[in-house]
Amino acid sequence: MLLTAGLLASASARAETSVAVDVATGKVLSQNDPSARWYPASTTKLMTAYLAMQAIESGKFKPDAPVVMTRRAAQELPSKMGYPPGSVMRLDYALRMMLVKSANDIAVAIGQTIADGSLEGFVQMMNDEAARLGMKDSHFINPNGMPGDGQYSSAKDLAILAIALKRDFPTYSDFFSTEAFISGKAVIKNYNPMLGRYDGADGMKTGYICAGGYNLVASATRNGRSVVAVVLGAIGPISRARTAAELLENGFKAQPAADAPTVYQLPVSSGPAADVSDQICSAEGRKARAAESADSSEDTDEQAFGSPYLHDIGRPRVAIKLGLGGAAGTDTIEAGITLIAAYGIPVPIPRPAQPDDALHAAEAAAAAASAAASAKAAIAEKSAPPASEAAPVRSAADLGVTRRGIPIPRFAERATN
């Protein structure tokens, strides 16, 4: 249900699919094919954040619980923090890194932490939670939104997720509005173009892959009222910011119609996710983004990205310091460390006793005894002189005596010759 035909035309001209929703009532303020299945890209990380915050609120984990950069997580493609395997950080720090930097490696490390080391288990948790929240056009295969068969969502479902985050975890609202963080000597800025540029903007997440285009889940609050806008498949980062700002602005100017459906009542789609790679990553797509950039090259303090609803930040971004270390200890992880020594190298474990160990021991002892006897015999044989050198055996007659030692008489000696 659209507020006006003009609003629909201006929004749909620059976005493949979109929706704006009043957070308090769930009423749809505007929509453009909101149930179409789409590659969510890094907006997927909103579900990862939801499960992590849920784990903290339930008491299963504390904010300073250790998150380890596993070898599996470290293999993820950018955007990433690039920490080496075995690096250790606090869970709350990891969440901010993931949301600001859109770090794919951190998302996987968080997922493995929450699911007790099982990435597959965490993905199952994501899909179970999506079903519970009513996200009927969503299915996840990883915690970070990297493209793959079976990874899809919709503007409708991402709006449902954004509302759930704001409703269920209000104390974590600043996690989504963090403008930047300091890591070592680097200042890492949030990819969300709305923060500091749109009045009242307070989150949430961007996303981009060729197949899904430029995505944005944006939220803003003015005078106690919150509106969420989702834009999927924009041709570039500037157009997604313009469209989101327009959707939010028109949403604040209107009140939900009495007969407007809630976001939960929108129809369910089917089939695979749309693939807009040809439009986004083609030569035409690059030309369109270049044209957008040229159009906004003369932005002023009062206007940014060529939108009357966006303005220049006009100040340094508010940055917080994040990094490795500072986590609580566990049975296997020392408190406060930044890197686990010899991470991934297995510790030798004694072989457990086997039922036939006694038989094998007896056979081994017999074999050893036999080998020793053979070796002894070989040594004795080697040390014995050759037969030709042996002393001749002499008889009693040879010695000139009888067997009892009595001298033999000469006549007897003659008789023997």
Question: What pLDDT is recorded for position 389?
Answer: 54
Q: Can you give the pLDDT at residue 288?
A: 87
d(CA 31, CA 39): 18
Give residue 369's pLDDT: 85
Percent of the chain topping pLDDT 90 = 71
Q: Rounded to an integer, what distance in angstroms lies between the CA atom of residue 57 and that of residue 283?
A: 47
**What is the per-residue pLDDT for 237?**
94
Residue range 98-102: mean pLDDT, rounded: 98
CB < 8 Å & 24+ apart, contacts of 381-389 = none
Q: What is the mean pLDDT of the chain?
A: 88
CA distances from residue 367 to 32, 193, 354, 357, 378 in whole angstroms, order as listed = 83, 77, 20, 15, 16
pLDDT at position 182 over 50 = yes
User: What pLDDT is recorded for position 258?
Assistant: 87
pLDDT band of 155, cuts 50, 70, 90: very high
pLDDT at 399 > cutoff 60: no
What whole-number percentage of the chain has pLDDT above 70?
A: 86
Both tokens assigned to 42: 């890094």
Q: How far are the Cα atoms of 350, 359, 360, 364 from residue 354, in angstroms, in the given order? A: 12, 10, 10, 15
C-alpha 179/C-alpha 188 separation (Å) is 9
Task: Find the mean pLDDT for residues 33-56.
Answer: 98
- Residue 3 per-residue DSSP state: S
Report the Cα 153 to chain-centroid distance in Å.
Answer: 19
What's the pLDDT band for 403 if we cut at 50, 70, 90?
low
What integer pLDDT is reported at residue 257 of this predicted model? 86
pLDDT score recorded for residue 246:
97
Tens of pLDDT along 280-328? 999 988 988 888 877 665 555 566 788 999 999 989 999 999 999 999 9
Q: Which residue has the higher pLDDT, 185 or 304?
A: 185
372 pLDDT band, cuts 50/70/90, is confident
pLDDT digits (tens, 9 = 90+) for 202-213: 999 999 999 999
- The residues near 224 (Cβ < 8 Å, ≥ 6 apart) are none
| Residues classed as catalytic | 42, 45, 102
Q: What is the pLDDT of residue 340?
A: 96
* Burial of residue 261 (number of CB atoms within 10 Å: 0-12, 13-18, 19+): middle
**pLDDT for 300:** 55
- Give the pLDDT confidence score for residue 225 in this predicted structure: 97
Stated pTM of the model: 0.79
The stretch 372-385 carries a mean pLDDT of 77
